[in-house]
Amino acid sequence: MEAESVVPEGPDVAPVEQEPLFRNLDIFLFSLIIGQLIYWLTTVVTPQRETSFIEKMKKTNRNMVVFYGSQTGTAEEFCGRLAKDAQRYGMSGMSADLEENDMSELPRLVEIDNSLAVFCMATYGEGDPTDNAQDFYDWMQETDEELNRVNFAVFGLGNKTYEHFNAMGKYTDKRLEELGGRRIYDLGMGDDDGNLEEDFVSWKEQFWPAVCEHFGVEATGDDTSIRQYELVFPTDINMNKVYTGEMGRLKSFETQKPPFDAKNPYLATVAVNRQLNQAGDRHLMHLELDISGSQIRYDSGDHVAVYPMNDVSIVNRIGQILDADLDTVISLNNLDEESNKKHPFPCPTTYRTALTHYLDITNPPRTNVLFELAQYATDPKDQDILRKMASASPEGKGLYQSWVLDAQRNILAVLEDMPSLHPAIDHLCELLPRLQARYYSIASSGKVYSNMVSICAVVVEFQTSTGRSFKGVATNWLKNKVVVTDNGHKATVPMYVRKSQFRLPFKASNPVVMIGLGTGIAPFMGFLQERGWMKEQGKDVGETILYFGCRHRNQDFMYQQELEEFEKVGVLTQLNVAFSRDQEEKVYVQHLLKKNNEHLWKLIHTDNAHIYICGDARNMARDVQNAFYDIAEEVGGLTHTQAVVYIKKLMTKGRYAQDVWS
Ligand code: NAP
């Protein structure tokens, strides 16, 4: 994004010959400079943080702080649960955003008796910290402050399909100990590829007894539900002050002001929405979002985040089951007045807006939600089942896995299949997690299409074991975005751009080898447009090779025309497509890579080629990496260990980059 040029206006200077005024002006300028200096010292030199978390803990009699490094909201959610649980174990907890606190205060935690800092740390991308944990990560790397035996524990959130599994959790746990912290319970490592919820529940189950033992406190045994927010019906409702789906500033969708980001998304109009596949029962789509006038800038390889809306029929059905008037204006206000988080979502708003824009009603609910909802079941058997599923017992975990996760029951399915369960809608709204923005690799080049951002995605829809249709929130919502609606309005999408590390080489003459699977072709459409543009500028553009894997030639050979055209004009020097299902034996990209092993090795080893991989994180990324090990061994004559080190080095140098999603 381009920064607006800010040229501060100076004070009007009167003609200098007027001596008295000139002296006054001198004093005026002097005080202006002093004023600016004080402002600079207080706002620039001192980081703009909330009040000290240590002071806040002292003031509110807390002895446990749970920090979160969260990208998609799950770590934040876990953090809130731990802080809330604390009461049941003789501790008094509060949750805190790493970004909003001055973490160099951490050693001072020992000023509070029996104190403890817990960290819920998500790992993002290729072992990176989440955006809100970046400063804390930098601080941990740079500091040599002594942590004075500060008590700590870490729970990491990661995904085993990624190479750097739980890198942030592991680093935080190790580094805090090196700095002199005192680990009171072992690092927990949640795996989102398995069952993150179960990992967390199992870790908590051991963590709390360790806390009780360490501090000599006892679990209260009190299992009653504790509300965090109070339901308020605003009197004197002014509909202009009621949130209707904005993420931050009220009315931000009506009066749009750059810069646009997660709290202030841009409402882009949908300029194109077309189906990419010619046949088959899936819907692969290409969308173009118009960003003209938004000042949004992006590079090829960046990601676009979109805020979807939930399916209206699910929202209505929840309202119906709970006998709620969805258009009631409400506010959920935090009972803890000291908390930075005043509401669970922008308030005041209506139940309808909350369920449509702010809450996740599509994914299976987590165990803490089931536990809290249990009190509303009038049938004791249902109460039992819900509580059991939230427990750490093997039977409970098994039931949660099969009844909720495997059956993909969302909150509506839970309510439908347990007719005696009739929760208060405001409590349900308090418990459900926030609906998160969805990220897509941008399928266009900002150099060529500065006013447009493209998305390439497949609509997620399948039948669950209960016979329901599971529809992915964002892709189904995007699919139904018509370019011009019946009443002549243009459909819009709240979006912003997130920078990535997935970048074309600095020198255009370096060869690039791109490997894209299915909709993982997306960033390479941007790369190809950009290489073509560079060629047009007369630049020396190196070899540009694409390996694309899809199911059937006549169904999902996405962008076939464009790719063949790129090949015809020489932007693509080699187009290799693996159609996995067009013959009896599977043909995958790695089979084609191996066929070209000699040429590929020359490009990598001699010509400084950059390799890019985009697609499914589960098996493909690993299998493709293995293919490169084989090439290094077979053609380069390396041993397997040397080949592994060789590819690792390419990764560190930024010459082997992955944009993989699970
Ligand atoms: P798809 O149409 O199913 O195509 C994937 C192709 O890869 C199929 O031909 C598949 O073959 C093949 N394949 C399966 N396992 C493989 C392996 N181990 N090695 C090599 N090839 C393998 O893909 P899709 O439905 O679009 O999904 C692609 C993935 O990319 C998704 O996980 C998506 O989240 C991700 N992604 C999307 C974006 C985006 O912006 N939309 C960006 C990055 C990544 P068979 O199925 O016949 O075995």
Cβ atoms within 10 Å, residue 156:
27
Mean pLDDT computed over 66-82? 94
CA 74 to chain centre: 9
Please check whether the two domains, 232-239+309-431 and 259-307+437-500, share a CATH topology. no
For ligand 1, is residue 555 a contact (CB within 6 Å)? Answer: no
- CB 465, CB 407: distance < 8 Å: yes
Atom 2, ligand 1: which residue's CA is nearest?
518
Look at domain 259-307+437-500 and name its CATH class: mainly beta
- Which atom of ligand 1 lies closest to the CA of 456? 41
| Per-range mean pLDDT, top range of 80-94, 319-333, 609-623 | 319-333
For ligand 1, is residue 522 a contact (CB within 6 Å)? Answer: yes
- CB 518, CB 615: distance < 8 Å: yes
The catalytically annotated residue of 441, 444, 454, 500 is: 441
Cβ atoms within 10 Å, residue 20:
7
For ligand 1, is residue 478 a contact (CB within 6 Å)? Answer: no
Q: Within 13 Å of residue 619, how many CA atoms lie on the same side as its CB?
A: 3
- C-alpha 414/C-alpha 364 separation (Å) is 9
The pLDDT confidence band at residue 44, using thresholds 50, 70 and 90, is very low
Question: Which pairs with CB-CB distance under 8 Å and at least 24 residues apart come from 76-82?
Answer: 76/120, 77/366, 77/433, 78/120, 78/155, 78/157, 78/200, 79/118, 79/120, 80/228, 81/368, 82/118, 82/120, 82/155, 82/204
Mean pLDDT computed over 275-285? 94
659 is catalytic: yes
pTM recorded for the entire structure: 0.87
For ligand 1, is residue 442 a contact (CB within 6 Å)? Answer: no
Strands 438-441 and 303-306: antiparallel
Distances (CA, A) of 660 to 302, 514, 615, 618: 13, 13, 5, 9
For ligand 1, is residue 103 a contact (CB within 6 Å)? Answer: no
Distance 190 CA to ligand 1 centre (A): 25
Comparing 63-72, 347-356, 422-431, 480-489, the range with the smallest average pLDDT is 480-489
Whether the pLDDT of residue 316 is over 60: the answer is yes
Whether the pLDDT of residue 46 is over 80: the answer is no
**What is 232-239+309-431's CATH number?**
1.20.990.10
Which of helix, strand or coil describes residue 107?
helix
* Cis preceding-peptide flag for 259 (omega within 30 of 0): yes
301: left (phi over 0), alpha (psi -120 to 50) or beta: left
pLDDT in tens, 141-200: 999 999 989 999 999 999 998 889 999 999 999 999 999 999 999 999 999 988 999 999
Domain ranges, ordered by start, for the chain: 53-215, 232-239+309-431, 259-307+437-500, 512-660
Q: Which residues carry a binding-site annotation for FAD?
A: 438-441, 456-458, 472-475, 661
**Strand ranges, E, within 187-243:** 188-191, 229-232
SS3 of 134-163: the string is HHHHHHHHHCCCCCCCCEEEEEEEECCCCC
Structure tokens at 585: 């034996």
Q: What integer pLDDT is reported at residue 72 of this predicted model?
A: 87
40 is catalytic: no
For ligand 1, is residue 589 a contact (CB within 6 Å)? Answer: yes
Q: Which of 621, 628, 622 is nearest to 659 (CA)?
A: 621
Fold for the domain defined by 53-215: Rossmann fold (3.40.50)
Atom 16, ligand 1: which residue's CA is nearest?
620
Q: Which of 276, 478, 560, 580 to mutate to test the pocket of ligand 1 (most atoms within 8 A of CB)?
A: 580
DSSP assignments along 382-399, one per residue: HHHHHHHHHSSSHHHHHH
Look at domain 512-660 and name its CATH class: alpha beta
Q: Which of 193, 303, 453, 616 to mutate to test the pocket of ligand 1 (most atoms within 8 A of CB)?
A: 616
- C-alpha 523/C-alpha 444 separation (Å) is 7
Whether the pLDDT of residue 21 is over 90: the answer is no
Distance 519 CA to ligand 1 centre (A): 7
- Which atom of ligand 1 lies closest to the CA of 441? 40
For ligand 1, is residue 658 a contact (CB within 6 Å)? Answer: no
